Amino acid sequence: MAKAYRITIQLSEAEMRNLIFWARWHGKPKATYAGQIISARIEANVPVINGLLEDEAKAQGCTVDELKQRWLSEENFGQDVDEVEE
């Protein structure tokens, strides 16, 4: 099983209220449901993310792998750079 990560996010009062309603309707804890929502949006945007990485690498005069490695390092995230899969 892949390692799971935790982050802290901020929501407005209205967003939090709606997250509670949505999660409760689905019978899930709000943190679990928020994680599923975020995961789904990331997966849906992989082609956009890859395009943005290509554009930024070109603008910075480096390869996509170099950019990924630098950004992951700056975020203290792991040693391996895995390709974002479409």
36 lies in the same domain as 24 = yes
The stretches of the chain forming alpha helices (DSSP H) are: 13-25, 30-44, 46-60, 64-74
Quick: pLDDT tens for 6-38. Answer: 899 999 999 999 999 999 999 999 999 999 999
61 lies in the same domain as 39 = no
Q: How many domains does the chain have?
A: 2
Amino acid at 38: I
Closest CA to 67 of 78, 76, 58: 58
Domain extent for 23: 15-44
- On whether residue 6 sits in a domain, the answer given is no
- Which residue in the block uniquely carries the two structure tokens 């935790």? 6
- On whether residue 31 sits in a domain, the answer given is yes
- Write down the mean pLDDT value for the chain: 91
The pTM of the full predicted model, rounded to 2 decimals, is 0.74
- On whether residue 57 sits in a domain, the answer given is yes
Sign of the C-alpha dihedral computed for residues 23, 24, 28 and 30 taken in this order: positive
- On whether residue 10 sits in a domain, the answer given is no
40 lies in the same domain as 55 = no
Helix axes 64-74, 46-60, angle to 10 degrees: 100
